[in-house]
Amino acid sequence: MKKSRRKFSSEFKQEAVDLVGRTGKSVNQIAQELGVAQTSLNRWVREAKSSPEQDNVFAGQAELRQLRKEVERLKMERDILKKATALQRPKSPHEVSICRGGEGALSGKRIVSGIAGITQRLL
């Protein structure tokens, strides 16, 4: 019968590595207390020592994954907002909306005040 592989959180790994450094107990003793394989704990300690930032290598990896997800979500939100603002772009003061036919149609000639008080006739 095959054992299922257990996954440990980055926080658990970091705490285990910290225990090795703080308590002065052997890696074997701490591994037995935590119920993990000695080889796994040895690997976590080695990875923590070999990383350039020794403080929190496992938490740093989890934070990096979380930040990448957030960046992706923010990019999607930005793209949606770009499209929405392009559709609802306010018209410049030089533009006049005219509706042809139907309700609100212009009938006859209307005088519209333009830039710098210049009047223009709309047909």
Quick: pLDDT tens for 42-64: 998 888 888 766 556 666 777 78
Instruction: Using the predicted structure, report yes or no on whether residue 17 has a pLDDT greater than 70.
Output: yes
Name the percent of the chain lying above pLDDT 90. Answer: 20
What are 74's two structure tokens? 């923010």
| Residue 117, in any domain of the structure | no
The answer to whether 60 touches 53, Cβ cutoff 8 Å, is yes
Judged against a pLDDT cut of 60, whether residue 109 lies above it is answered with no
pLDDT at 97: 59
Angle (deg, nearest 10), helices 57-87 and 10-23? 150
Q: 57 in a domain, yes or no? A: yes
Q: What is the average per-residue pLDDT within 12-31?
A: 87
Domain of 66, CATH number, reads 1.10.10
Average pLDDT over residues 5-9: 84
Q: Which pLDDT does position 6 carry in this prediction?
A: 84
44 part of a folded domain: yes
Domain limits for position 58? 10-87
Token code pair at residue 16: 């285990």
107 within a domain of the structure (yes/no): no
Considering the domain boundaries, does residue 1 fall inside one?
Answer: no
Report pLDDT digits (tens) over 71-105: 999 999 999 888 888 777 666 666 655 555 555 54
The b/e string for 22-61 (b: 16+ C-beta within 10 A; e otherwise) is: eeeeebeebbeeeebeeeebeebbeebeeeeeeebbbeee
In a domain, 59, yes or no: yes
- Could you tell me if residue 5 is inside a domain? no
Residue 74: inside a domain, yes or no?
Answer: yes
- pLDDT at 116 (0 to 100): 55
Q: Specify the pLDDT at position 42.
A: 92
Q: Are 119 and 112 in contact (CB under 8 A)?
A: yes
* Pairs from 47-54 (Cβ < 8 Å, separation ≥ 24): 48/14, 48/17
Per the model's pLDDT, the better-predicted residue between 30 and 117 turns out to be 30
Say if residue 93 is exposed, middle or buried (CB neighbours under 10 Å; 0-12, 13-18, 19+). exposed
Q: How many domains does the chain have?
A: 1
